Amino acid sequence: MTGATILHLITMAVLISAAASQAPPTKYINHTVGDSAGWFFNSTTNTTATNYSSWAGSQTFSLGDYLIFKTSSNQTVIQTYNLTTFRNCSIDDSSSNDTFVYNGGNTVFDQALTIIVPLTIQGPNYFFSDASDGIQCQHGLAFEINVNRGLGLPPSLNQPPPPTYREPPGPDSASPPVTIPAGEEGTGNSGFKKGASVQVIACVCLFALLAVIGGDRGGIF
């Protein structure tokens, strides 16, 4: 009996530790860009508040995670899947289906902003500030990450709201990112370059949803 009890205990211990070690990643993570340094550029010294490449290298990114940019209206947040756009530090000539502006058109400086960007496409994602005609980006306010599959997209992001639609610089002062789906933006069914499957699945889901909802938005395809 004693032997059996010990065996039983050992078995339980093995099972418990196996369960613990095999646990898949169970959480989505919010990554504060630059940690406590935030997303800042000092235009007097042409230096960034921290080394964003190093910061990015210290993190593991997965679908469904968020990037939290603690910044001010002196910087912008551009997300692109296009390496050419990233290297150019400019959204001029970029395509609105692979490049998203989260706080363009600022006319008031030094306003505190928190910009929240969900990671919805697997593979390379690039981020930079295009403020000061690209000088901030050229001096390091830029980084690239690789987004892993992780847990996959959570239901809340399965139909990712398109990021703020790019507006030409205008009288609008700094505004927080809009999370209201803007309809046809971002649902184009032509090929997306990278992480195509996720985006295509999202489009299919959206299509299905629209079909269920019925006539409301009929005709966008």
- Interface residues with ligand NAG (CB under 6 A)? 30, 42-46, 51, 53-54, 57, 66, 74, 82, 84-85, 88, 90, 92-95, 97-98, 109-110, 116, 134-135, 138, 140, 188, 190-193
| Shortest distance, position 214 Cβ to ligand NAG, whole Å | 27
SS3 14: helix
Q: What does the alpha-carbon distance between residue 74 and residue 132 come to, in Å, rounded to a whole number?
A: 9
Cβ distance to ligand NAG smaller for residue 11 or 197: 197
Report in angstroms how near the CB of residue 82 gets to ligand NAG at its nearest.
4
19/111 with CB nearer ligand NAG: 111
CB 174 within 8 A of CB 102: no
Find the DSSP H helices in 47-167: 52-57, 83-88, 135-138
Closest CB to ligand NAG among 11 and 30?
A: 30
119-139 in b/e form (b: 16+ CB < 10 A) is bbbbebbbbbbbbbebebbeb
Question: Minimum distance from CB of 19 to ligand NAG (Å)?
Answer: 23
Closest CB to ligand NAG among residues 123, 188? 188
Tokens describing residue 217: 């938005």
CB of 41 to ligand NAG, least distance (A): 7
As measured in angstroms, the least distance from the Cβ of 115 to ligand NAG is 10
Q: Which run of H or of E encompasses 5?
A: helix 2-21
Q: Which is nearer to ligand NAG, 161 or 188 (CB)?
A: 188
Cβ proximity to ligand NAG: between 13 and 83 the closer is 83
Q: Which of 133, 125, 126, 127 is nearest to 92 (CA)?
A: 133
For every residue of 194-209, DSSP letters joined together read: SSHHHHHHHHHHHHHH
Distance between CA 162 and CA 26 in Å, rounded?
26
Nearest approach, Cβ of 38 to ligand NAG (angstroms)?
11
User: Which residue in this structure is represented by tokens 């999202």?
Assistant: 202
